[in-house]
Every structure is written in structure tokens, then in C-alpha cells.
Structure 1
Amino acid sequence: MTRLADRYELRRVVGRGGMGRVWAARDVWSGREVAVKTALPGEGGALRREAALAAAVDHPGVVDVHDVGHDGVTAYLVMELVDGPDLAAVLDDGPVPPTEAMRIGHGVADALAAVHGAGVVHADVKPANVVLTDDTVVLVDFGVAAASQDDAGPVTFGTAPYMAPEQVASAPATPASDVYALGCLLTATLTGRPPFTADSPTEVLQHHVRASAPRLRELLPDVPARLDDLVARMLDKDPAARCSAAEVRDLLAELREEPVLPATPLRSVRDRASRLDPDATRPILELLQLPSAA
């Protein structure tokens, strides 16, 4: 078993990214289970920057950073190990029930409000970067995040289906860019698909810039009118016309109290979840008060 800095035992790979891998690991000094991102040679500066940006936000919906350092040529970043599946895995078989989609959207918006309040832009809000626990929605991976006052150049990173038009045009990402991405994420969570799909990422990016996003009610006819209007504002081409993350959070909090959302058969949710890792999905089944598929 590989050990970094004579302290972190790397057990299994749980994610891969442009800079390297993310491992489930154990801190042998404290006995704590952690996540360790290891970087390719030359990426140590990027990891230190990611650590600083994530550590600037104190919020239960934002992943905690514990340590950053080097072991020989390997740079590493140590974070809390969030126990649960990411939203991308849950959405592999389609949308989740609307009440759960509201909880997820509210949690991400609440985290983003704190992120933006700390002067940080996440710049890569997408289902793979949202982890669901039994009681919390956690925003992870600040690898391409930026300080909102940065003037070092445009942030053009992102993921095509969740990338704001201004990012496609190589303008700096802003809090409004995160809100646009959250609008795409809400659409995917509720309907099973993001606003724009195409045969290639390039076509998707062109749609973000040139095409009008479909109204949520075109994809999910029974959705409340206020939610339809909210997502339309989030997906406005003009960043100045979008609402803030705090406004999204507050309106979703109101909508969660209104028993008017259409129902998705709970059995289908249980069946989909049962095809994922049972240990990872059990918190979701418990949250939905569903029996285990085992």
C-alpha cells in the first residue's frame, strides 16, 4: 500500500481529473478517513491554489481541506472524504424525484452563496462535483476555481454541458457563471438531461452561446411556474440578468415547502439506486425512506 509523507495510506482510486487522481485514504496519524488528490509533476502550485480557495469557505456544503504538501515529486491535497455517491452516478439512469431535486438544488445554491460570499468562483459546477450524503449536499473539486477578483486572465475551464456562454467565449468566470451551471444542473436533475445536448462537445458549446435554452416546462410539463421562471433566469445569456446563488437558494427553499411537484415512482428510484454501490447509495435510500433493494 502506497503511503505519502509517511502519513497517508492510499487505498483506492475514487476519481480522476486533469491534474491526477483522487484516492480514498487513511491518515495514520489521526486514524481519520480522508480523500487525497495526487498531482502530476509540476502541478503542486495548482494544488496549493485549490487548497487556499476551498479553505477560504467555511460551510458544511463545501468540502473541507486538511493538508497540502509534497512527497518527493508527488504533490498532494488532503480533504475530507465525503461518504456518498456523486450526482452524476445517481443521474446515470435518469432524473430523481422532484422533491429530492429541490433538496439537491437548494444545497448547491446554499454552498455557492457561501463560496461567492468568500470571493471565490467555483467555475465547474456539474453533477460529478456534487456529492450526496445522508443529510448534506457537498460541493467538491475547486481545481479550476478562481478568486472573483483575479485578473490573471480568463478562466476557460469547465464541462461542456454545464459551461456558461461567457466561459465559452473565453471571458472570466464569475458568480453568474456558477448560477448558469447550476441552472443546467437543476435541469438535468429534474429531467434527466441538461439543457443542451449534441453529438460533440463543440456543438454543445455553440448551443450555449447561440441557442435559446428550452423552458423547463417543455421538458417537464407539470413543473411549477415559479421554478420554470427561476431556471429560465438562471440560463439567461446575459450574466447580469441572472439571479444570485442566494436568490436561487431562497426561492428553492420556498418551493420545497409547496406540495405541488409531480411525483416520480419511488420504486424506480430504488431500482436505479440498487444498481449503484450499496454502501454509497444507502444514505439516499434512507433519506427517501425507501427499503433497501437487498
Structure 2
Amino acid sequence: MRLCFAILCGLVLCASGATFSSAASLRDFIDFSDPSLPGRLYVPPQAATGPRPLIVFLHGAGESGADNTAQVNGNIDNLLTAAKARGAYLYAPQTAIGWNSSTAIDRVMAMVDRASAEQNVDELRFYATGLSMGGGGTWNLINRHGDHFAAAAPICAVLPATGYSAANLAEVPTWAFHAKDDATVSYTTTRSVVANILGTTGETLPAYPVRPTADFAFQSSTLDLRHTEYRTGGHGIWGRVYNTPAFYDWMFAHALVPEPSGLAVMFVTGLGMLGTCRQSAARRR
């Protein structure tokens, strides 16, 4: 996996502004499962006219099971609203064994590959996100399969699986979120992963306030890495994150670029947006 400096892909797929979500329904999704991994897939109407991005959403511990329903409960509402507004696929698998299992993570990637084969998916714009246990799963997904993902957003995440590679995580543009007053998963878990990622370049760690009076926002000077630590919000901050237009603007502005020669290429779009894109590995079919 190599980084090349190129466009951020600069295609904002809808105008910014507040979003208003409606409750997700099973009718919004098709069944997209295999015998070992239940799942639901939202298929955007825009896919009829061209390839569309795909968001992978990994649920928290409370939605674990095999009913293929719990993972598309209220926690996904704002994310689904954004997927509809921006014409993106939304894939929501369900696990009964946790996202720290490499077996579960590899099954997710196999289903993403299946979506690429069966749907009109833009293979250069896969995005990973998840909350709590699924936030840890997001770390695990980009640790094992980061060369397939253009960006990731772990929210109030548990720690990734033992033995993860901070160097792998550093390769994937990431925006991590946590709340300082999270009483379920300590804010220190995200801080520790961010610190390990920054350690791969030797960058100075963020100067987190001891008694914050406002939300804390960090942006790395050496990596495409952001960390937002809300002053309040408790554990359930995903509704806030998934209702933030700037978050989607950031995420959808990232794309992988093919790797024809392994050489970095500089170019600018007609929009004049210069940024970082990541070279992709060959896709598995």
C-alpha cells in the first residue's frame, strides 16, 4: 500500500446543510447475506446510471445476532439518510461473534467483493464506519483490508484486535470520533490508537485539554488523520456524527486511484481541489 499525492477526488455529491433523517426500514434494503454472515444492502437509484460509492457500516454489540434486522435499527438512520442523499450504497452486515474476529472481518470483505461483482459499485470509493464494537471493527477492517478503502470513520470505538499494525492504519485516511464523557468505552481508547498511528511518523501527540470547555479537534500534519473528541455526548455520539454534513464532505472527497505503474502522479481537477488519494491494490473478484 502506497500513498500518492493527487486529488481528494473533490466530488461533493450533494449540497451541504443539515440533514433530517427518517427511521430506517427493512424496505429500504435488500437481503445481502451469505450462510455465515447476515446482511442488508441499500441500493441507490443512481446506480442505474453509473457506479456509486459503497459505505460499510459495522454495528455495535447491542445489535449482535443473526436476525438480520437489529443492525438496521435506529442507529443507522442518519447514515442511511446521507446514503440516500448522496447516492451511495450502504452495506450493513451482522455478526454474532464480534468484529474482533478475523473470520468475521474477512467475511465482510468477501461480501464487499460480491457487491462489486453484482452491483454497480465504484470500487475506488469504499468507506468503512462503525460504532462502539463496530468502531473497533472499523479499525480491524482497515488493518486487514485497508488497501480497498478510501476512508474510514470509527466512532466511540473499542480497541482493535490484539496485534494490529499501526502502520496499516496510518495508510487509510481516517476521522475518529469519541466523547470525553463516554462512560461505556473510555475516550482513552481512541486516543491510544491515534497515538500509535502518529507514532509511525514520529509526529508530536495532540495536546488534549485536561478540562475541556469545548469540543477538541485534531488534524495530523503528517497523515490524513483527524480526531474529534466531543466535550459531552456520552457513548451515543453516532447520531451526531452521522448528522454532520462536513463529515460526509470529507469522506466522499476521498477515493482510491488505480496503480498502473506505481508512480505518484500530481494532477488537479477542474474544481482545483488538490489533496491526497491512495493507490489501490488489485481488486479481488
Q: TM-score, normalised by structure 1?
A: 0.31
Structure with the bigger RCO (C-alpha within 8 Å, sep 6+) is 2
Whichever of the two has the greater Rg, that structure is 1
User: Which has a greater percent of helix?
Assistant: 1
